[in-house]
Amino acid sequence: MPKETGGLSLDGQGKPLWLSLELTYRCPLKCSWCNNPLDFEDYAAKELSTEEWKKVLRESRELGALQLGFTGGEPLQRPDLEELVAYADSLGFYTNLITSGIGLGEERLIALKNAGLKQIQLPLQATRADVTDALVGARAHARKLEAGRLIKAHGFPMVLNMPVFRQNIGMTGEMIEWAAGLGIEYLEFANIQYYNWALMNRDELMPTLEQVREAEQVVQQWRDKLGKKMTIYFVIPDYYEGRPKACMNGWGAIHLTIAPDGVAMPCQEARVIPGLEFESVRDRPLAWIWHESPLFRKYRGLDWLPEPCGSCAEKEKDFGGCRCQAFLLTGDAGNTDPACSRSPRHQVVQDAVDAVTRPLRFRKPLVRRAAGAMSTAFLEN
């Protein structure tokens, strides 16, 4: 589960402790901060079959993977989800479902519980239907609330996730109050990271530092009020922290993502970096990919770190930050993450922060995650 500090380091002893299976990029929503690739529609015909996913599960378990997240897109779009959950459970995985809640009716929820599903993470974007529906591009709010009610009614441990941005950060207190009333155990306010669709919409999505600090105060007040009844995480955007987060506890350290087409990656965003050699589980054993492939060895450990990271006393806390963010903001994945105030390229982050508070700036409509949206966005720009 995500922590709000960047200083926690987990030693996986060379094992991919956390496995993320992106079963599909298909999704009924059109969120403008989605972390799926900009060309997500190109993957629909390339998805792994049920038996191929089972092979991934076997090989991952042999590597030592323990925690498993079924995600997407929307994993409920896969009719074999229950079969995959049951197979993962039989192998000893602790199974999590990360779902929008759209399509999670009672019958399917019972089937997933019978298959061995252990935990569910549900995102809710706002406490009002008009705001949620506008943000996700679909009439989804009521269905999300019902999904949350059903999840708790059937006894699942539940993580409620509120992706935080300018449009909803003022609802922090309302969200905690609603979650407390439902008896939710974990509530995560995740200020979004700016990759893919979120990066395209960054100027419109990023809250101001003042808004972030006000929301922090609200969270602390509710922590004091609720005590141990609910664990509340508040993940501060690294654009405002001055230090990068320990992205995935280091490249190729404890996290393994498998994309819908079988490509194995150190994180969900790695494909944004050009020039890397991506290997598919269809072509290579997963053990070789994890231990030996050039991709996973590229930025693993600390020896590759540039200056000032290489001589920094905090390098074992943040591992130089995020490689994807370094590429997207500086053009070179080997650079120091510019979110760090010690980076020689930190100004690019400062410029982004300044842009969201610039008076009388022109506001743009959000680019929605949808097939063909990219070409339209480029034409408009």
What angle separates helix 172-182 from helix 209-226, to the nearest 10 degrees? 30
Contact 144, 100 (CB under 8 A): yes
Assigned token pair, 218: 């609200």
Assigned token pair, 105: 């009716």
**Residue 34 labeled ligand binder:** yes
- Which of 20, 32, 22, 11 is closest to 364 using CA atoms? 32
Q: Tokens 């991934």: give the residue.
A: 56
What span, in angstroms and rounded, lies between the C-alpha atoms of 279 and 290? 10
Sheet holding 67-71, edge to edge: 231-235, 186-191, 158-164, 119-123, 94-98, 67-71, 18-22, 255-258, 264-265
**Residue 27 labeled ligand binder:** yes
The number of CA neighbours under 13 Å toward the Cβ of 256 is 31
If residue 265 lies in a helix (H) or strand (E), which one and from where to where? strand 264-265
Please give the radius of gyration of the chain, using alpha carbons only, rounded to the nearest integer. 20
What span, in angstroms and rounded, lies between the C-alpha atoms of 346 and 353? 11
The backbone torsions φ and ψ at residue 229, rounded to the nearest 5 degrees and listed phi first, read: -65, -30
B/e letters for 143-155, b = 16+ CB within 10 Å, e = fewer, are bbbebbebbbeee
**Residue 340 labeled ligand binder:** no
| Coil, strand or helix at 100 | coil
What span, in angstroms and rounded, lies between the C-alpha atoms of 263 and 22? 10
In eight-state DSSP terms, residue 77 is G
- The total of other beta-carbon atoms located within 10 Å of residue 257's CB is 22
B/e letters for 165-196, b = 16+ CB within 10 Å, e = fewer, are bebbbebbeebbebbbeeebebbbbbbbbbbb
What HEC string does 114-141 produce?
HHCCCEEEEECCCCCHHHHHHHHCCCCH
Q: Which residues are annotated as a binding site for [4Fe-4S] cluster?
A: 27, 31, 34
Q: Which residues are annotated as a binding site?
A: 27, 31, 34
